[in-house]
Amino acid sequence: MGLLSDPNRRRALIGMLTRLNAPICMICYMAGVAWFMGLAFEPFTLRTYMSENAMGSTMVEERFPAGERALATGREFAAHKKKTGGMPVDWLVRTMQARGLEVYTQRFSRKLPFPDEDKERYMVKGTNVYGILRAPRAPRTEALVLSAPCSPGNENNQAVGILLGLAQYFRSQIYWAKDIIFLVNEHDLIGMQAWLEGYHHTNTTGMDWSPLQGRGGSIQAALSLELSSDVVTSLDLVLEGLNGQLPNLDLANLFYAFCQKIGVLCTTQGKLPRNDWDTTSGYSHAVQTMMLMVLKQASSRPWGDHGLFLRYHIEAASIKGVNSFRPYKTDATTVGRLLEGMYRKLNNLLERLHQSYFFYLMPSLTRFVSIGYYMPAFGLLALILLLRALDLWVQLSSPPTRTTEDGVEVVPASPGVLSILTPLVISHLTGVALYTLPVLSQELAVEHFPVSETEAVVLTAIAIYTAGLALPHNTHRLLAGEGTEQGWKVLKLVAVLYLAVLLGCTALINFSLGFILALTLVPLAAFITPHVPKTLSAVVMVILSPGLTLLFAVFFFQELQETPVTLQEGWMLYLSVISQGILDHALYGSLLYPLAALLVYPCWLLFWNILFWK
Amino acid sequence: IANSYNRPTLIQLQNTREEEEEQQTTAQQEEQTKRWEATELEEEHVHDAAVPPLAGDPPAADPPSPPPSKDDFQEELVIRPLHSGDIYASFQFRTVWDADFMGDQKVSHYRLFPKSLGQVITKFSVRELHISFTQGYWRTMQWGQPYLPSPPGAELWVWFQDTVTDVDGTWKELTNVLSGIFCASLNFIDSTNTVQPSASFKPLGIGNVTDHSFLRYATLPREIVCTENLTPWKKLLPCGSKAGLSVLLKSEKLFHSTFHSQAVHVRPVCQDPQCRTTSMELRQTLNVVFDLHTSGQGKREWSLFKMFSRTLTEACPLASSSKVYVDVTDNPQGEQFELSPATPLLTQAVVLGDRRTYSVYDLTQQASFGSSRSLNMLLRWKMLRPLLHSERYVAGYGLQAGEIHTLIYNHHPYRAFPVLLLSAVPWYLRLYIHTLTVSSKGKDNRPSYIHYQPSKDRERPHLLEMLLQLPPNSVTEVTVEFERALLKWTEYTPDPNHGFYVGSSVISALVPSVVAMDTNSTLDRPLFSSFFPCKEEASYFMRVYTEPLLVNLPTPDFSMPYNVICLTCTVVAVGYGSLYNLLTRTFQVDEPSPGLAKRIANVIRRFRGVPLL
């Protein structure tokens, strides 16, 4: 600090920073990206290990015998589902009662803000059925949840079968210390949301549900099972939840430990762990796995039914059965044994899962990158913003004096508050319009244009987004007159600091989202001035804008999933992703849409404003 | 002996009760017009077990049959849950034929009545015949009385016509023939095991025969009953085992039971109330007791399919009446168990001195089968609905605030009663008492008394006591918000992430009682009934405890306290200290230090008292 309090040395340091600002920024950017790419390189990552003592040292023996019977129950469930044309509530209640559970149902209904064309639903009405296995000699203070969705068509019948099979087997065991809740939820996440809100008696999204009649106390952990075939080749673990929340890493470790013990192939992001880290293909495999996780986390949506538990501080994950063309198959008994083992270990927990990491990335199921390792990558990018801000601050505090012909030094007048405030307010008003208008004006749009409601919402959003490009840089002139050189610098300083705070906060909550936004917005924030070539810069800015970032992310995600799409399909996918984003916000309270519309987009508009400063 | 001795008197008793019952039922019908269908009269004649009906017309539902020999067939199944948890199913098939076997013209044209039996009756001049095959012993202490009693093994008793001259010879011949018909070892009946009871076994049909020399009675206790006896028994039925109730008679299930008894009773009965002519009645009965505990579930639920591995799809087309009765006496308000499919038809009958209520399924009505075209009755025990119970949980999410919900259920159909709710909440949940709401049935329910003692941090917990009036048949919800306190780091338990317990709330209530309570001295009452003193006759004292709660408090990461402390201290010391320094210090450019001459001059000037340079 002596360095800063000494004016001479301070001047020297500042002088160096302003002189070398651009090269330092370049180096920081490249170092940030390189650091991030290095995260997938195996020697830089840590091997996963079980931190929780209660689960690590105790041994359990899995004895679940009745896989075939569970599958038969699943088929019976399928038949009843087909007959009732939806959730066979009566049958489920009867079957769970016959297995000795305390059975309750919950009805719920929800009107979506606009029709969901992906899942073809608008007015949703459904019933959740859950049975509670009361632990002997336990006071109903703790519970574990096993859930399986009742999906339309032939999906997930085996999951319900195994759930009921496990219920029957668990019922006859004496060692349970926590109540176990077996939940079959209808309409996947909407049903899950209704159940969780009912269980915790909150209402965050305005859904109608009937209050729950039975509870098991505080839920310690939950697993959601998705299984659509009698045999599986591998089990996939899905961790990403709402708003990029992740369960404790120990849950993933537990899953991996049992897969190893029982001998089941297990994957994350659908990718097997590989050992050839020193080859290019091995490294690129790890990068792909990690990038998939980053993209999924950045999307802020729940990627399985477990995703909504995380809001309630319940560690949860989804386990999906994958049946591919590999020769080696795993039968239902083995899957049941795996779940039995996991539940017995969770049953042994004395405290909630808390020993291991909550913030991590996984380049494979056996390796992880903790927050301490990945944060510097973002820090390097954020540093650029601070350096630019410092540069601007210095330029503003020592204004270049111009000497007129008379030899009188003229200090340019500092810009009025209004000239800064106006673009700021207008950008944010545009953001508010982008946030509110698409859903509000859907009826109007449907009346005047030949589009469906969903299309109307998405196209209105895109239209407002595009219209926003024209709006602010025209109006600020009308209001505040001619912009000055000082004016854009102050505006840019504000914008850069704004962006730094915004990205910093986002990255703390959801690293992936923060990093992806930083990757595109930071270079733009760094280079933009009114003096760069207008047309070229405008094109670059539009390409780096949040909307197009999303488009690229869609194509990139499809590429990583090995299901590449054509431009046309990609565009359709892009439109559906926007509508899903808006729906996720309305249905589950995902924060991506308001964040993008109310903060990121206005911030980007500020830079757009600077580019067209007159 | 006692059993058989009672028989005639019992029937007469029943007879007189029946008259009484008719009077009562009319009164009851007025009382409960909704529940009781006007099928009473029609139902009752089924239970006039042995005697000609005293009042009312003969069944109107007889199928049109040729006038000279009118015959009629009825089938019936009674299911009765027994106290032990077993299920008692009793089948009765009754064929009545207006033929006179003893008359002059020979009966040769058989329709519903089995020819094999008819010929036997004619040939051996049998007046009454009762034969039963039983496997197992009826456990009266556990099961109560059966509808039709029978001894283990085989029992046969026969009244011959008084025209028979050589009774012993005919008896010998008859047993051999019956032995062939029923595939049983009845041929082992001989004079060594045959008796002529003088009083016990009176004829159950009409006619007042007193000469017991025409009666023969024998039992074969060793007789083992199995499928080979069931098959000929079923062949006597008009529909065989093809349709009607008899499809349920699958031997693999009937003999997988704790008690099995099948019987055939032939006797003359009156054809009309005036008893001018007689008819022959054949009653085939089959009683079986299932123990559903052993067959899997360990539950008292049952269904037709679980018992018989078949469901009913149609009545026997030849039957004029085909009904299934389920004893629902123990379930008057429908609160104990649920019978599905539900039937609106109810009937009452006095059997064995006890008035029982039955749900009736009429198989001749297509509606009984529903849309699935099969009838599978099943009984499920409902959850108990105790008058008062409660539930408590923590609502909300996040580690800052929360809400405690206490639900108190009053299941009394029409009485409101007061309860006292006490909750003691530890101080680290800081209750916001202004958010306390009490509501029942969606309306605000103001407690008539509230005592609240606020907590003091680390000294005493919150105490909240209130007197609430619970409206009848309602849920009262008490909610109060709280904030989770941040504890000092030494105050956390060794397992802080497990959560912190909040003890049970206590609900003390005076619950309205159905029976008058004894308010007298407690001296001679049993100990378990005399703990809570009883002050009023109309209500009793009761205490209910809710579940304890497990609440998570904001918990620091104790796994590396050292790191945390070091890091925090460093950040505070280095970052904050120097920033503060930078922000508060004013920077001035130092003047270059004065030269030596100037300093000396200043010293001199100070001595002189003039201003320095």
Q: For chain B (length 613 residues), average pLDDT per consecutive 10?
A: 39 42 44 41 39 39 50 91 84 88 74 90 91 88 85 91 90 93 90 87 80 89 88 92 89 86 92 82 92 58 84 89 88 74 83 84 83 79 78 90 92 88 91 93 90 90 92 92 89 87 89 74 69 77 88 81 75 82 77 81 86 78
CB contact under 8 A, A217 and B393: yes
CB contact under 8 A, B495 and A141: no
Residues in A touching B393 (Cβ below 8 Å): 201, 215, 217
Burial class, A85, CB count within 10 angstroms (exposed 0-12 / middle 13-18 / buried 19+): exposed
**Touching B: A residues 125-144, CB under 8 Å:** 139-142
Weakest mean pLDDT among A58-62, A194-198, B41-45: B41-45
Residue A478 CA to residue A474 CA, distance in Å, equals 7
Q: Which residue has the tokens 């509508």?
A: A579
Instruction: Supply A21's token pair.
Output: 């600002």
Residue B576 Cα, gap to closest chain A Cα (Å): 11
Residue among A134, A416, A93, A596 at smallest CA distance from B340: A93
Q: Quick check: A383 and A455 in contact, CB under 8 A?
A: no
Residue A16 Cα, gap to closest chain B Cα (Å): 20
Residue pairs spanning A and B at CB distance below 8 A: 71
Residues in B touching A4 (Cβ below 8 Å): 578, 582
Q: Quick check: B493 and B454 in contact, CB under 8 A?
A: no
**Same domain, residue pair A221 and A115:** yes
Residues in A touching B405 (Cβ below 8 Å): 201
**Same domain, residue pair A432 and A336:** no
- Residue-level pLDDT at B60: 40
Contacts of B257 (CB under 8 A, 6+ apart): B136, B288, B289, B290, B291
Where in the sequence is the domain holding A439, given as residue range(s)? 412-611
Q: Which residue has the tokens 């008197």?
A: B9
**Identity of the amino acid at B504:** S
**Same domain, residue pair A280 and A422:** no
CB contact under 8 A, B396 and A202: yes
Side-chain-side CA neighbours of B264 within 13 Å: the count stands at: 25
Q: Which residue has the tokens 């047993």?
A: B175
**Same domain, residue pair A245 and A316:** yes
φ, ψ of residue A210 to 5 degrees: the values are -85, 145
Please calculate the CA angle B377-B382-B383 and round it to the nearest 5 degrees. Answer: 160
Residue B70 CA to residue A77 CA, distance in Å, equals 52
Is residue A543 in some structural domain? yes
Residues in B touching A1 (Cβ below 8 Å): 574, 577-578, 581-582
- Residue-level pLDDT at B540: 83
* Predicted complex ipTM: 0.85
Count structural domains, chain A. 2
Please calculate the CA angle A548-A550-A553 and round it to the nearest 5 degrees. Answer: 115
CB contact under 8 A, B395 and A201: yes
**Same domain, residue pair A342 and A425:** no
Question: Nearest-CA residue of chain A relative to B405?
Answer: A201
CB contact under 8 A, A350 and B398: no
CB contact under 8 A, A215 and B391: yes
Q: How many CB atoms lie within 10 A of CB B294?
A: 12
Interface of B with A (CB under 8 A): 297, 299, 301, 380, 391, 393-399, 403, 405, 495-499, 501, 547-552, 555, 559, 574, 577-578, 581-582, 585, 587, 589
Residue A256 CA to residue B283 CA, distance in Å, equals 70
Question: Nearest-CA residue of chain A relative to B575?
Answer: A1
Contacts of B401 (CB under 8 A, 6+ apart): B481, B482, B483, B484
φ, ψ of residue A517 to 5 degrees: the values are -65, -40
Residue A471, H or E segment:
helix A453-480
The pLDDT tens digits of the residues spanning B79-92 come to 988 877 788 999 99
Side-chain-side CA neighbours of B102 within 13 Å: the count stands at: 16
Q: Which residue has the tokens 């039709």?
A: B148
Residues in A touching B552 (Cβ below 8 Å): 218, 313, 352
Instruction: Supply B394's token pair.
Output: 């923590």
Please calculate the CA angle A251-A254-A258 and round it to the nearest 5 degrees. Answer: 145
Residue among A468, A346, A303 at smallest CA distance from A50: A346
Instruction: Tell me: pLDDT of A408 over 60.
Output: no
Q: Does A47 touch chain B (CB under 8 A)?
A: no
Query: 3-state SS string over B521-552?
Result: CCCCCCHHHCCCCCCCCCEEEEEEECCCEEEC
Residue among A76, A70, A305, A90 at smallest CA distance from A164: A70
Residue among B116, B81, B118, B90 at smallest CA distance from B102: B118
User: Strand pairing partners for B424?
Assistant: B463
CB contact under 8 A, B497 and A97: no
Is residue A200 in some structural domain? yes
Is residue A286 in some structural domain? yes
Side-chain-side CA neighbours of A172 within 13 Å: the count stands at: 14
The residue from A310, A332, A355 where one domain ends is A355
Q: Where are the alpha helices (DSSP H) in B183-323?
A: 227-235, 251-254, 304-308
**Identity of the amino acid at B563:** N
**Identity of the amino acid at B219:** T
Cα torsion angle, B307, B310, B312, B316, sign = negative
CB-nearest to B581 from A1, A140, A141 is A1
Residue B97 CA to residue B280 CA, distance in Å, equals 5
**Same domain, residue pair A350 and A468:** no
CB-nearest to A313 from B397, B548, B578 is B397
Is residue A25 in some structural domain? no
Q: Which of B295, B404, B437, B547 to mutate to test the interface with A (most CBs of A within 10 A)?
A: B547
**Same domain, residue pair A124 and A257:** yes
Q: How many CB atoms lie within 10 A of CB B67?
A: 7
Residue A34: pLDDT band with limits 50, 70, 90 = very high
The residue from A309, A332, A355 where one domain ends is A355
CB contact under 8 A, B550 and A202: no
Instruction: Supply B447's token pair.
Output: 């407690």
Residues in B touching A200 (Cβ below 8 Å): 394-397
Instruction: Supply A163's token pair.
Output: 């759930």
Burial class, B28, CB count within 10 angstroms (exposed 0-12 / middle 13-18 / buried 19+): middle
Q: B338-350 burial, b if ≥16 CB within 10 A, otherwise e? A: ebeeebebbbbbb
Residue among A493, A468, A497, A474 at smallest CA distance from A613: A474
CB contact under 8 A, B578 and A202: no
Residue among A316, A193, A307 at smallest CA distance from A242: A307
**Same domain, residue pair A443 and A303:** no
Residue A14 CA to residue A522 CA, distance in Å, equals 21
Residue A36 CA to residue A287 CA, distance in Å, equals 10
Q: Does A98 touch chain B (CB under 8 A)?
A: yes
Cis omega (within 30 of 0) on the bond before B341?
Answer: yes
Residue B477 CA to residue B437 CA, distance in Å, equals 8
Residue A211 is given by DSSP the state P
User: Strand pairing partners for B502?
Assistant: B549
Q: What is the gyration radius of the CA atoms in chain B, in angstroms?
A: 43
- Residue-level pLDDT at B40: 39
Q: Which residue has the tokens 């024209």?
A: A470
Residues in A touching B496 (Cβ below 8 Å): 351
Look over chain A and give the mean of its residue pLDDT values, rounded to a whole number. 88
**Same domain, residue pair A348 and A423:** no
- Residue-level pLDDT at B66: 43
Residue B422 Cα, gap to closest chain A Cα (Å): 19
φ, ψ of residue B388 to 5 degrees: the values are -135, 125
Is residue A189 in some structural domain? yes
Q: What is the DSSP secondary-structure string of A16-46?
A: HHHHTHHHHHHHHHHHHHHHHHHTTSGGGSE
The pLDDT tens digits of the residues spanning A72-130 come to 999 999 999 999 888 999 999 989 988 888 899 999 999 888 888 888 888 889 999 99
Q: How many CB atoms lie within 10 A of CB A569?
A: 14
Is residue A72 in some structural domain? yes
CB contact under 8 A, A313 and B552: yes
| Average pLDDT of the residues in A419-442 | 87
Is residue A602 in some structural domain? yes
CB contact under 8 A, A218 and B550: yes
Distance of CA A25 to the CA centre of its chain: 29
Instruction: Supply B571's token pair.
Output: 């950040």
Is residue A15 in some structural domain? no
The pLDDT tens digits of the residues spanning A259-299 come to 998 989 999 988 888 888 888 999 999 999 999 999 999 99
CB contact under 8 A, B397 and A352: no
Residue among B490, B482, B351, B339 at smallest CA distance from B406: B482
Please calculate the CA angle B83-B87-B89 and round it to the nearest 5 degrees. Answer: 130
Contacts of B521 (CB under 8 A, 6+ apart): none
Q: Does A215 touch chain B (CB under 8 A)?
A: yes
Contacts of A34 (CB under 8 A, 6+ apart): none
**Same domain, residue pair A90 and A193:** yes
**Same domain, residue pair A100 and A203:** yes
Q: In what order do the strands lie in the sheet with A265-268?
A: A208-209, A102-116, A121-133, A179-186, A142-150, A218-226, A315-322, A234-238, A265-268
Q: Quick check: B321 and B365 in contact, CB under 8 A?
A: no
CB contact under 8 A, A97 and B552: no
> Would you call B455 helix, strand, or coil by DSSP?
coil
Question: Nearest-CA residue of chain A relative to B393?
Answer: A217
Please calculate the CA angle A286-A289-A290 and round it to the nearest 5 degrees. Answer: 85
Residues in B touching A509 (Cβ below 8 Å): none
Residue B278 CA to residue B265 CA, distance in Å, equals 16
Most confident of A11-20, A321-330, A505-514: A505-514
What's the CATH number where A132 sits?
3.40.630.10
φ, ψ of residue B505 to 5 degrees: the values are -80, 155
CA distances from A544 to A598, B47, B153, B248, B534 (A): 18, 91, 95, 77, 81
Please calculate the CA angle B201-B202-B205 and round it to the nearest 5 degrees. Answer: 125
Q: How many CB atoms lie within 10 A of CB A237?
A: 21
**Same domain, residue pair A325 and A440:** no
Instruction: Tell me: pLDDT of A372 over 80.
Output: yes
